[in-house]
Amino acid sequence: MSKKKITVSEARGVDFIGCEVRLCGWVRTRRDSKAGFSFVEINDGSSLGNIQIIVAQTVPDYDLLIKTLTPGSSISVEGVVQKSPAQGQLTEVAADKIELIGESDPLTYPLQKKGHSLEFLRSIAHLRIRTNTFGAVARIRNTVSYSIHQFFQENGFVYVHTPIITASDCEGAGQMFRVTVIDADNPPRDNDGKVDYTKDFFGKSSYLTVSGQLNVETYCAGLGKVYTFGPTFRAENSNTSRHASEFWMIEPEIAFCELEENMSWAEKFLKRLIADVLKDRHEDMEFFNRNDTTLIDTLTHVASSDFVRLSYTDAVSILTSSGKKFNYDVAWGIDLQSEHERFLTEEHFKSPVILYDYPRTIKPFYMRLNDDGKTVRAMDLLVPRVGEIIGGSEREYRLNVLEERMREQKLDMEAYKWYSDLRRYGSVPHSGFGLGLERVLMFITGTANIRDVLPFPRTPGNCDY
Ligand code: 4AD
Ligand code: MG
């Protein structure tokens, strides 16, 4: 009879002690003892920790086999789970039989027992998932994604799939990747000699989306509470540790909801994601806590304390009267830089901060204009170390004001007619926000560079794998 196949994670618990089992995984380390057996640690991705396999010389073909069990090789083990006498592990597996499934040349396998720098691991992104760090990031990314859906489903939101290919620039920043089938060497041209995109696949210019918001707003105006969760693309040439050209965004949109309620949703949402990771990914979080011993304490505090809410105008006052020398000078009207955001969260308040009511001139057309005529009902949720993690707003639901803002920002009114129609037929106050999945992962895991929380990062100049 074939033995029960279990995971390394299951084998590390007490449930299978005394059971004959089969396990499969990749060898992490091997140590041959003089006493006539070897210790082989394997990992299968089910947990951060490995399981130790005791391979006695009585195992069939020991002499031939044991030399092939090098780091990176894949094996199948049959044996008995037993209590381990060693420190730091509950169990180990005494092997009866081992089969080499795929060998791994120890001379060329790039992952050695000694730690590798994150920079080096980026150059082997196809193998780095076999390290503790990337395994832990991937499991936490999975937990956060699951938790996102749970949060919205439990709160009555409907999941909507907004398109990836679009003709509209939601954020109005013109940082879009063009989608085209036009032959770049021989494009059709119009009478002015310009490339004629009416001859392109969709009969007009089209791009990869920078945000699902405009589309999800239409579903909000019929379903009430909705969210999208998908990849977004930005062709901004900013080579920072917090920007990726392809990243995942979660965008809820809530009808009959003004800015204060929107802020409360954002705060409750972020706290829930953190709490779920702390609850369900204990071992992985302990691992990250070794690099930054304040990480878990900080996250626990964030998940249970009230976030500061502060207007942009008050934030500017705090920054200008702080006496701190910034690289970029602060004055009312500027777009705050990451150094300003970090000062507020890390030094001044030592807490996440939600800034609201930003100058209209630095925000997109769709945000609701305040009565002062100068500011819009925008909000950014800032956290220590990462800065902006959520950006959102109450939307302009008054048709005349929206159209004025569209004209101001030189939008093609005809192209956005479907969007302004939402204000023509049963318009309601509504709000929403976007959470950058990678930003939240950086915050939770303490990872400094966005390239290390994306499976295959796309950044200016980099599109490998
Ligand atoms: O502030 P942003 O640009 O807001 C929007 O796109 C709105 N349409 C959202 C909405 O109201 N539905 O982006 C939202 C979040 C940012 O706060 C940040 O976390 C993340 O998306 N983000 C990026 N993450 C990684 N790389 C980039 N280049 C990012 N740009 C934005
Ligand atoms: Mg933003």
Q: What pLDDT, on a 0 to 100 scale, did the predictor assign at position 77?
A: 98
pLDDT per position as a tens digit, 351-381: 999 999 999 999 999 999 999 999 999 999 9
Q: Give the model's pLDDT for residue 192.
A: 96
Distance CA 356, CA 378 (A): 5
For residue 118, count other CB atoms closer than 10 A to its CB: 16
What values do phi and psi take at 161, rounded to 5? -95, 105
Nearest-CA residue for atom 9 of ligand 1: 434
Measure 390 CA to ligand 2 centroid, in angstroms.
7
Which residues lie below 8 Å from residue 399, measured CB to CB, with a gap of 6+?
420, 423, 424, 427
- Residue among 232, 209, 229, 213 at smallest CA distance from 221: 213
In a 13 Å sphere around the CA of 412, the CA atoms on its Cβ side amount to 5
pLDDT tens digits for 101-150? 999 999 999 998 788 999 999 999 999 999 999 999 999 999 999 999 99
Cα 342 to averaged position of ligand 2 atoms, centre (Å): 15
Nearest ligand, CA 170:
1
Task: Return the beta strands (E) in 34-119 as ranges.
Answer: 37-43, 51-56, 74-83, 91-102
Residue 385's contacts (CB-CB under 8 Å, 6 or more residues apart) are 342, 346, 442, 443, 446, 448
Q: How far is the CA of 390 from the centre of ligand 1 (A)?
A: 7
Atom 29 of ligand 1: nearest residue by CA position: 243
Residue 169 has pLDDT above 90, yes or no: no
Ligand 1 atom index nearest CA of 389: 19
Ligand 2 mean position, distance from CA 238 (Å): 14
The ligand whose atoms approach the alpha carbon of 336 most closely is 2
Summarize pLDDT for 403-462 with one digit per residue, the tens. Answer: 999 999 999 999 999 999 999 999 999 999 999 999 999 999 999 999 999 999 999 999
User: Ligand 1: distance of its center to the CA of 434 in Å?
Assistant: 6
pLDDT of residue 170: 80
* pLDDT one-digit tens code per residue, 242-299: 999 999 999 999 999 999 999 999 999 999 999 999 999 999 999 999 999 999 999 9
Q: Report the C-alpha dihedral over residues 153, 158, 164, 166, rounded to 10 degrees.
A: -150
81-105 mean pLDDT:
96
Which residue do the tokens 């084998």 mark? Answer: 11
Ligand 1 atom with least separation from CA of 170:
8
Dihedral pair phi/psi, residue 44, rounded to 5° = -125, 15
Q: How many angstroms is it from 388 CA to the middle of ligand 2?
A: 7
Q: Is the pLDDT of residue 333 over 70?
A: yes
Whole-angstrom distance, CA of residue 79 vs CA of residue 23: 8
CB 17 within 8 A of CB 82: yes
Residue 205 has pLDDT above 80, yes or no: yes
Q: Give every strand in the sheet of 158-159, ordered side by side.
A: 158-159, 225-233, 246-255, 430-436, 387-394, 375-383, 353-359, 308-311
Closest to 136 in 3D by CA, of 353, 3, 286: 286
Predicted structure pTM score: 0.97
pLDDT of residue 151 exceeding 90, the answer is yes
What's the CA-to-centroid distance between 296 and ligand 2, angstroms? Answer: 26
List the residue whose alpha carbon is closest to atom 18 of ligand 1.
Answer: 436
Q: Provide the pLDDT for residue 266.
A: 98
Task: Report d(CA 196, CA 174) in Å as an integer.
Answer: 19
Best mutation site among 439, 450, 453 for ligand 1 pocket (most ligand atoms within 8 Å of CB): 439
* Alpha carbon distance 6, 214 (integer Å): 46
Confidence bin at 401 (pLDDT 50/70/90): very high
Site residues for ligand 1, CB cut-off 6 Å:
170-171, 211, 213, 234, 243-244, 247, 249, 251, 388-393, 432-434, 436, 438-439, 450
- Please provide the size of the chain in residues: 465
What the chain holds in terms of domains, given with CATH numbers, is 4-102 (2.40.50.140), 130-175+210-452 (3.30.930.10)
**pLDDT the model gives residue 108:** 96
Percent helix, strand and coil across the chain, each to the nearest 5? 30, 25, 40
Residue nearest to atom 4 of ligand 1 (CA): 391
Task: Give the span between the Cα atoms of 286 and 266, in whole angstroms.
Answer: 26
Mutate to test the pocket of ligand 1, among 247, 396, 449, 459 (most ligand atoms within 8 A of CB): 247
| pLDDT above 90 (res 35) | no
Residue 268 identity: K
Task: Kindly report the average pLDDT of the chain as a whole number.
Answer: 96
Q: Which helix (H) or strand (E) holds 308?
A: strand 308-311
Pairing state of beta strands 158-159 and 225-233? parallel
Which one is predicted more confidently, 294 or 1? 294
Average pLDDT over residues 167-189: 92
Instruction: Please report where in the chains the tokens 């009959």 appear, as a residue.
Output: 256
Residue 162 and residue 424: Cα distance in Å, rounded? 22
* pLDDT > 90: percent of the chain: 94
d(CA 217, CA 431): 9
Pocket probe for ligand 1: among 208, 249, 336, the residue whose CB has the most ligand atoms within 8 Å is: 249
Tell me how far the alpha carbon of residue 378 lies from the centroid of ligand 2, in angstroms.
Answer: 9
